[in-house]
Chain A
Amino acid sequence: MPVDIDIDHVARLARIQLTDDEKARLKVQLGVILEHAARVGEVAADDIPPTAYAIARANVVREDVPEPCLPVEEALRNAPDREGDRIKVPRITEIGS
């Protein structure tokens, strides 16, 4: 059985604005893909450890040596909007109260 998912909820978590058409199509497609993907539950028993990285590395550190960093102008070259040496964005807090 295709998996029934709450598209609006997932889209909110993913912060993607979707049209009604996109939502309808994704609901069907993701349901089918997840039905196939759920097969992972058939074989992976409790005593099998998970693998996040095939070649595991942990706590990779280096000497704390300062290096030159990007000049401000270069760092801001791709900014969609700016004010002085800062990136400008729409307001980030609720108005009022």
Chain B
Amino acid sequence: MTELCDLTGAALSAKLAGGEVSAVEILESSLGRADTIDDRVGAFLTRTPELARERAEELDVYRATGAPLSPVAGIPTALKDVFTTNGVRTTCASRILENYVPPYDSTAWARLSGDGAVLVGKTNCDEFAMGSSNENSAFGPVHNPWDPTRVPGGSSGGSAAAVAAGEAVWALGTDTGGSVRQPASLCGVVGLKPTYGLISRYGLIAFASSLDTVGTLTRCVRDAATLLSALGGKDPRDATSLDGDRLDYTEGLEDGVSGLRVGVVAEASGEGVEPGVGMAVEAAIERLAALGAEVAEAHLPHAEYALSAYYLIAPSECSSNLARYDGVRYGLRAGGTHADSVAMMFETRGEGFGAEVKRRVMLGTYALSAGYYEAYYGQAQKVRTLIIRDYEAAFERFDVLASPTSPTTAFPIGAKVDDPMAMYLNDIFTIPANLAGVRPQPSKPISASAFVRRSSPEDPSRAAPAAETIRATLARITATATRICPVIGSWRTSHPRSTATTGFTCAYVLTSDVRATRNNHR
């Protein structure tokens, strides 16, 4: 029998509105599932059942008044442990923040919470979101719910596993180079990475600021659109957030793909792609064509340099961002007496950071150091320009680009821990979109990556598509994803051998004149 905790957010929201179930009943179902299985999955670093019960009870009282509820109200929600939560420990899966209790909420959580979402806990991840397998957590790995000997992907591995296993109905993650899309692919859920700046980064503990995006992990595409609608919109506290109010991304979900121009990225096939993954993607493309999409080959000629550029840009930014963990104001301070503050900083960082974080801080420090800056960081920024131009050219011809999300399915825990380059290659198909700032990339047994094209101030004739077009494209691709790959079943009753997803990238720009109705319910 399907339990409440295995349903989609949309289904639960309808049941709540219809008075069939209470928020407390939904919550107890999710909490019960986590009680039963989280010792085997390891999705959570901190669970918040008492806070959640208080919240659900309040909501039921509010609901009894007959007041309208937001579509996120009463839905058990998990947050990757890189989002600050007022009064709830936030660790980034790092020893250096093991006991950090933020005095403020991230904007992403504040928006969901304001709409009535119920926090069930903070999820495990790779330390400071650096990794592709969740094995870099200082507090132990996450196990893929479909096969506990395998990784769930990363860095948002706990969020993906929690959603796949029914421990949360949906979750937020972050995506700097594929950290939402790749674990979604490996766990068989829907992962959406929106365009850079669409969701505020305020209170998202920084990894690489020019690449970091907030993303969603859900059981169906409609839920991804619902969350995006609740999360989007300008935030004065994040100067890089895009202008414009919240939009309703659920409009047009049933419009179909007839006439949609789908480009299959030629560079994302062949060598390095597991045969099963390639076949899954081909099957998805064929079905898109059967449903009326116009399919042709697309090219991103500089994509092969994306990984190299990423592993210079992201570590460079992280070496700067993580300089703040110095043992002075908050976080770990190494014990014992110290000769002076600088010695204390060396010891604190040596003790508090794990191997991957040290590797990336060192890499970034080197790339930015005197004598090497131009050859590494400077050149990588130029490659970034070339990749953006590739996308702009591709989106002259296509509405959507399709590729595998990850070259492999979930691999065994431990298989790649000693080979950083092999691990980094997991993100080879997801990284280009981060470098380009590209739009929504949902990842699912079909993953939709909607990239929206940048507007081009130098060339007004290549202005961004109107908001309506943008929304329609996202809606159509996401709806198709739903139709091709129906929502996954309960992990307990249905065991696919592996999950692989197709990533879709849509061009999209949010212009400053976008106006939309705000969802002010609750």
Contacts and interface: CB of A to CB of B under 8 A. Distances in A.
B158 interface: no
Interface stretch (B71-79, B284-292, B357-365, B393-401): B357-365
B345 interface: yes
B362 A32 contact: no
Nearest to B384: A51
B385 A40 contact: no
Contact of A89 (B330, B331, B344): B344
Interface in B262-320: 302, 305, 307-309, 311-312, 319
Interface string B318-345: 0100010011111111000111111111
A26 B358 CA distance: 9
Contact of A53 (B195, B240, B366): B240
Contact of B363 (A18, A34, A49, A81): A34
A90 to B, nearest CB: 4
A11 B420 CA distance: 19
A16 interface: yes
Nearest to B99: A78
Nearest to A57: B240
B307 A36 contact: yes
Residues of B in contact with A, size category: 35 or more
Contacts of B424: 33
Given A40-B383, A89-B328, A54 B210 contact: yes
Given A10-B365, A54-B436, A55-B454, A80 B331 contact: yes
Interface in A1-35: 5, 7, 10-11, 13-19, 22, 26, 29-30, 32-34
Interface in B234-265: 236, 239-240, 242
A87 B328 contact: yes
B350 interface: yes
Contacts of B330: 78-80
Interface string B183-210: 0000000000001110000000000001
B358 A18 contact: yes
Contact of B369 (A10, A37, A75): A10
Contacts of A77: 101, 103
Nearest to A6: B366
Contacts of A41: 375, 379
A58 B476 CA distance: 34
B347 interface: yes
Nearest to B304: A39
B319 A14 contact: yes
A42 B331 CA distance: 41
Contacts of B64: none
Contacts of B438: 54
Contact of A10 (B210, B308, B366, B454): B366
Contacts of A62: 236
Nearest to A7: B362
B107 to A, nearest CB: 15
Contacts of B239: 57, 60
B350 A16 contact: yes
Nearest to A74: B103
A87 B329 contact: yes
B381 A26 contact: no
A44 B331 CA distance: 40
Contacts of A50: 378, 381-382, 384-385
Interface in B369-424: 369, 375-376, 378-386, 388, 420-421, 424
Nearest to A62: B236
B177 interface: no
B361 A16 contact: yes
Given A55-B437, A80-B331, A80-B332, A49 B382 contact: yes
Contacts of B340: 90-94
Nearest to A49: B385
A61 to B, nearest CB: 9
A55 B379 contact: no
B518 to A, nearest CB: 20
Contact of B308 (A17, A37, A48): A37
B375 to A, nearest CB: 6
A79 to B, nearest CB: 6
A29 to B, nearest CB: 5
B45 interface: no
Interface string B103-114: 110000000000
Given A15-B342, A37-B367, A50-B384, 14 more contacts: A10-B362, A10-B369, A11-B362, A16-B346, A17-B346, A30-B362, A33-B424, A40-B305, A40-B380, A49-B382, A55-B240, A77-B101, A77-B103, A90-B341
Interface of A: 5, 7, 10-11, 13-19, 22, 26, 29-30, 32-34, 36-45, 48-55, 57, 60, 62, 70, 74-75, 77-81, 87, 89-94
Interface of B: 99-101, 103-104, 195-197, 210, 236, 239-240, 242, 302, 305, 307-309, 311-312, 319, 323, 326-333, 337-347, 349-351, 353, 355, 358-359, 361-363, 365-367, 369, 375-376, 378-386, 388, 420-421, 424, 435-438, 454
List 8 A-B pairs, minimum CB-CB distance, nearest first. A54-B437, A17-B350, A44-B382, A50-B381, A78-B330, A80-B333, A60-B239, A40-B379
29 contacts: A10-B369, A16-B353, A16-B361, A26-B358, A30-B362, A32-B420, A33-B359, A33-B421, A36-B307, A37-B308, A37-B367, A38-B376, A40-B380, A44-B385, A49-B382, A50-B382, A54-B438, A55-B240, A55-B437, A78-B100, A78-B331, A79-B329, A80-B328, A80-B333, A87-B328, A89-B344, A90-B337, A90-B343, A94-B340
